[in-house]
Structure 1
Amino acid sequence: MSSDALVLGGGLVGAATAYGLAREGLSVTVLDEGDVAFRASRGNFGLVWVQSKGDGYPDYAIWTRRSADLWPSLDAMLKEETGVSTAYEKPGGLHFCLSEEELENRKALLARLHNVHGAANYGARLVDRQEVREMMPEIGPDVVGGTYCEHDGHASPLYLLRALHDGIKRRGGRIVADARAETIARDGEGYAVKTPSGTYRAGRVVLAAGLGNKALGKEVGLDLNIAPLKGQILVTERTKPRLNMPTHVVRQTGEGSIMIGDSHEDVGFDVSSSSDVMATLAARAIRMFPFVKDLRIVRSWAALRIMSPDGYPIYQQSETHPGVFSVNCHSGVTLAGSHALALAPMIAKGALGEELAAFSARRFDAPAN
């Protein structure tokens, strides 16, 4: 069973990369662990978010903006090829501030990021309470202002994943379930990946197995310093249209549910929901939108983000195993545009572009004394 490329992991990161490789004309096989995996895709909040990304790390700010710019094309491609809508919308997005101190901190962040993009290209600006209220009439009295970015939007992570999987198959790719990669070994000029479902071969291998990349990387000379960070999300019953754009922690889905997020908890591989964190999320959402207090919570869940020490992606080709690439990040929805339409073409050509040099794992190497 041989392909041009094997993608290890069928979540949003792996599926977007595999779809992009298939668009480049490569035969692609996706080896997916299945629903037993710590699948971050299931717990993604669904934002396509530019504002606040890359503070202190300009390369990430630029990469994120590039992905947001590519998202409309990706959405149109998937809809045309598969008939599946990702529910992508780009109305802009709001980040609320609940105190004057938060607003001042936000203003300083805005200034720093304007220095990266320039104010016009960054597309985010400070908005006072009156303007926020004009955009979102149902805000609560604690909202003092915030920031608005015209490049922000949101999509359905599950519809996106379905569309990517369908797009891969329509372009001749295969997705193999219950095929957790166990070993990676050289095989002639390429590689052989052993799984419970059999052994698969290809000239290129992409590690996109989320937290599983850490162990797989060791087999191919990649030291991937990644760890889990839990996030919890609440979902309310459906209601009439109340929010005409997403905020950083509250958004309304196309079906009418209100999604409330998100926590950041360093608790290892624990994916249980906890009442204290859920109460904190709900209380903050009610301060922003008081109408939320009258809605029933119908679902809650926790999922694990894939985090590097500095929180930014790791993209790297192995020096000891040429043709093996690793893709690690926690923003699978936001970066889907870049992964499918910018990163995948680089992998297809056999080398990452210079613009991704800043995302090498080598940035974590300790300096020599």
Structure 2
Amino acid sequence: MQPAIATEALAASARRAGAVVRTGVEVIGPLLDADGALRGVRTSAGDIAADDVLIAAGPWSGEMARTLGVELPVLPRRGVVLVTTRMPHRIRHKVYDGDYVGAVGSGDGALQTSGVVESTPSGTVLIGSSRERVGFDASLRVAVLEELAAKAVRLFPFLVEANAMRSYGGFRPYLPDHLPVVGPDPRLPGLWHASGHEGAGIGLSVATADLIVAQMTGEATPLDVRPFSVARASLGLLMPGVALPTDAAGARA
């Protein structure tokens, strides 16, 4: 999946459904009613009233939440990918090395790399992956790309003959318990969250939207959303007077 193309397609679909997409507009604060509930946002282009406000800002969701007055420990987790020139189609499946699962589930902020190799329909090969928490530092380190290339060659020795064409990077929205937050925020009525999916966000975007819509409209959700509550104990957020969600067995999530 090409995230940029997918994003444009989703935005176009939203416009067809009546949504207004505003770019280059900064949210600068909340609009609150007399009871302290969120009823919209103040922006650099004026106030926008809304019964519900959803934060779905990826790695910037933590900053956005603080702008609206609540804490959400979403942090950027940087990763880079190396792309080869086109080559004969010899890699037919996405392949990971044994370190990948551990790196994804690690809470370590230092650099971690693991071999991930995947071919594309155009004939290029994508080589990853790296993870590190360095804020929003977007600088490129050649040493990291060299490490990824070496791990890819160990998986597929013929890649030693491949030529690198480009690299790209981004910031995954990281939460310390490695689960997203999808649902309402009991600390600020009217506020909703959909963030913290790390690298799976673009693939889970439509399913996440279904969960949010079902909760907003009072419909039954297709799965138990309690593990994704912002009030879950594993996030460690202060929730005075708020009962922590429990799973189906009665244990605190």
Give the TM bin, normalised by the shorter chain: 0.7 to 0.9
Deviation, structure 1 residue 365: 2.4
| Structure 1 equivalent of residue 156 of structure 2 | 289
Alignment of 1:340-351 (within 5 A): 340-349=209-218
Q: Which amino acid aligns with 2:215?
A: M
Separation in 1, partners of 2:220, 2:21:
24
Count of aligned pairs between the two proteins? 213
Q: Secondary structure at the match of 1:174?
A: coil
Deviation, structure 1 residue 266: 2.4
Instruction: Answer whether contact 1:229 1:264 (CA < 8 A) is retained.
Output: yes
| Structure 1 equivalent of residue 168 of structure 2 | 301
| Structure 1 equivalent of residue 8 of structure 2 | 162
Counterpart of 1:261 (choices 125, 128, 138) is 128
Deviation per CA, 1:25-83, whole angstroms, max 9, x where unpaired? xxxxxxxxxxxxxxxxxxxxxxxxxxxxxxxxxxxxxxxxxxxxxxxxxxxxxxxxxxx
Deviation, structure 1 residue 309: 1.2
More helix by share: 1
Structure 1, unaligned stretches of length 5 or more? 1-154
Deviation per CA, 1:301-359, whole angstroms, max 9, x where unpaired? 22111111122212341224322101112121232242133333323439988822122
Counterpart of 1:365 (choices 229, 236, 243) is 236
Separation in 2, partners of 1:225, 1:232:
22
State whether structure 2 residue 88 is matched by structure 1 residue 240. Answer: yes
Q: Which amino acid aligns with 2:60?
A: G
Separation in 1, partners of 2:219, 2:54:
11
Counterpart of 2:56 (choices 180, 198, 208) is 208
| Structure 1 equivalent of residue 72 of structure 2 | 224
How has the CA–CA distance of structure 1 residues 267 and 212 changed in structure 2, closer, same or farther, with 3 Å as cutoff?
closer
Instruction: Answer whether contact 2:3 2:202 (CA < 8 A) is retained.
Output: yes
Higher relative contact order (CA 8 A, sep 6+): 1
TM-score using structure 1 length: 0.52
The worse-fitting range, judged by mean Cα deviation, of 225-234 and 185-194 is: 185-194
Instruction: Answer whether contact 2:55 2:192 (CA < 8 A) is retained.
Output: yes
How has the CA–CA distance of structure 1 residues 320 and 267 changed in structure 2, closer, same or farther, with 3 Å as cutoff?
closer
How has the CA–CA distance of structure 1 residues 293 and 240 changed in structure 2, closer, same or farther, with 3 Å as cutoff?
same
Separation in 1, partners of 2:221, 2:70:
15
Instruction: Answer whether contact 1:236 1:298 (CA < 8 A) is retained.
Output: yes
State whether structure 2 residue 225 is matched by structure 1 residue 356. Answer: yes
| Structure 2 equivalent of residue 116 of structure 1 | none
Deviation, structure 1 residue 260: 0.8
Task: After the TM superposition, list the runs of 4 or more consecutive aligned residues in structure 1 that deviate by more than 4 angstroms.
Answer: 187-190, 350-354
Q: Secondary structure at the match of 1:228?
A: strand
Deviation, structure 1 residue 366: 7.5
Q: Secondary structure at the match of 1:285?
A: helix
Deviation, structure 1 residue 156: 2.5
Deviation, structure 1 residue 164: 0.8
How has the CA–CA distance of structure 1 residues 342 and 318 changed in structure 2, closer, same or farther, with 3 Å as cutoff?
closer
State whether structure 2 residue 44 is matched by structure 1 residue 196. Answer: yes
Q: Which amino acid aligns with 1:365?
A: G
Q: Secondary structure at the match of 1:255?
A: coil
| Structure 1 equivalent of residue 248 of structure 2 | none
Deviation, structure 1 residue 158: 2.5
| RMSD between aligned residues | 2.6
Separation in 2, partners of 1:265, 1:190:
34
| Structure 2 equivalent of residue 177 of structure 1 | 23
Deviation per CA, 1:65-123, whole angstroms, max 9, x where unpaired? xxxxxxxxxxxxxxxxxxxxxxxxxxxxxxxxxxxxxxxxxxxxxxxxxxxxxxxxxxx
Deviation per CA, 1:160-194, whole angstroms, max 9, x where unpaired? 21221111112121211101211121258862322
Deviation per CA, 1:244-275, whole angstroms, max 9, x where unpaired? 23234111122221111110112222111111
Q: Which amino acid aligns with 1:360?
A: S
Q: Which amino acid aligns with 2:74?
A: I
Structure 2, unaligned stretches of length 5 or more? 97-115, 239-253
Instruction: Answer whether contact 1:184 1:216 (CA < 8 A) is retained.
Output: no
Counterpart of 1:275 (choices 142, 157, 161) is 142
Instruction: Answer whether contact 1:346 1:353 (CA < 8 A) is retained.
Output: no
Separation in 2, partners of 1:324, 1:366:
16
State whether structure 2 residue 178 is matched by structure 1 residue 311. Answer: yes
Q: Which amino acid aligns with 1:231?
A: G
Separation in 1, partners of 2:171, 2:128:
13
Separation in 2, partners of 1:337, 1:324:
20
